[in-house]
Amino acid sequence: MDSQDASDNSDTESVASEVTERSFVEEIEKMETMNLDLRLPDNSRVVSRELLVTHLLPYQHEGLAWMCNQEEEAACRGGVLADEMGMGKTLQMIALIVKRRQQVKGPTLVVCPLAAIVVWEEEIRRSVTPPGLLKVYVYHGTKKSGKAELEQYDVVITSYNTLESQYRTLTAVFETVICDYCKEGFRMNSLAAHQRHCILKYQKKKIDAIGVKSRESVKREMGCQKYRTPDRGGKSVVKPEGSPSGRGSGMTKTSGGSKVKSEVALTPVRKTIKRSTPRSVRRIRRQQRRALEQGNGPHSVQWSRVILDEAHRIKGRTNSTAKAMSVTAP
């Protein structure tokens, strides 16, 4: 009895597997003949079986068609392929590279975590036919190729840490900014905070330079000096006491009861300081961009496409990882 049940179960499993395989093949053939109405030419979303060993599933065909549309006709190029984990996003990206290798000239940069470099390399080797159709180079380790060699490959795979490390190495020398008041060098990110603390010393020097004014006028100057903010043109913007927000009446009381007019600052101190150094920041950005372009690494190559695998590792727009990725954008 047990042997009969086992044979029945094996027959059922074989029939189910045969039906599943036949349905899968029929679905693939159906997808190859239909159009997804994405304003694409006929069969532009289909990758020939002669070029891709692994057959794409229907949703992968749809994703490939969408990516082709984003590269060809979309007003905003690029996009986010946000399928669930294990749904074959890597295979879809490989299919995109193979499908548009004739239309898109130039190498494709794949940036991924260190553990995924081997996965990308193995997936390309296993899925693409004939072997060697795509020339792949792993940019990692101590021995790295230069710009001329990188441009000869179809796919260059590297890690986030490698790109960020090279970005910091090339741009760190330009991170120092000279303060307009103390003439000392500071990192660009800490310059605004330093200038806020530097204002008091700057204003004391201004008061000592008055000299010829009477004691009362010096007292009046000192009364407003607490909120005085230097400007680049040598002028001073005054905030009177009792009006720290800079929106007071513009009058300051002296010890004798008389009122002295003063110029009221309508802009907060922080904004005034930040407005005094945009030229330095822009100059530093230009120098950093020039250093990256003249370097001999991935940042100097004109990539036709940049693929960010697990892009959620970029935690913000202002950190070094985000800056290193933005420079590589085509």
Cβ-count burial 94-119 (b if 16+ within 10 Å, e if not): bbbbbbbbeebeebbbbbbeeebbee
Domain match, 328 and 252 both: no
Asked whether the predicted pLDDT for residue 248 surpasses 60, the reply is no
Pairing of strands 229-230, 176-178: unpaired
Domain match, 186 and 263 both: yes
Asked whether the predicted pLDDT for residue 1 surpasses 60, the reply is no
Domain match, 114 and 157 both: yes
Q: Of the ranges 32-36, 72-76, 122-126, 278-282, which is most confident?
A: 122-126
Residues 6 or more apart whose Cβ sits within 8 Å of residue 166: 295, 297, 298, 299, 324
pTM comes to 0.58
281 found inside a domain: no
Comparing C-alpha atoms, which of 156, 160, 134, 159 is closest to residue 146? 156
236 found inside a domain: yes
Lookup: tokens for 102: 């004739």
Identify the pLDDT of residue 222: 53
Cα separation, 264 vs 98, whole angstroms: 65
With a pLDDT cut of 70, the percent of the chain lying above it is 52
Domain match, 192 and 271 both: yes
286 found inside a domain: no
* Residue 44: Cβ within 10 Å count: 17
Asked whether the predicted pLDDT for residue 204 surpasses 50, the reply is yes
| More confidently predicted of 100 and 238 | 100
Counting the structural domains of the chain, the total is 3
Cα separation, 223 vs 253, whole angstroms: 9
Domain match, 160 and 304 both: yes
pLDDT digits (tens, 9 = 90+) for 126-152: 999 888 889 999 998 887 888 888 989
Domain that includes residue 153, residue range: 105-176+299-330
Cα separation, 60 vs 41, whole angstroms: 18
Extended strands (E) in the chain: 108-112, 136-138, 155-159, 176-178, 185-187, 229-230, 236-237, 251-253, 259-261, 305-308
Identify the pLDDT of residue 124: 93
Lowest mean pLDDT among 212-221, 232-241, 254-263: 254-263
Domain match, 132 and 191 both: no
54 found inside a domain: yes
Domain match, 190 and 259 both: yes
Domain match, 268 and 303 both: no
51 found inside a domain: yes
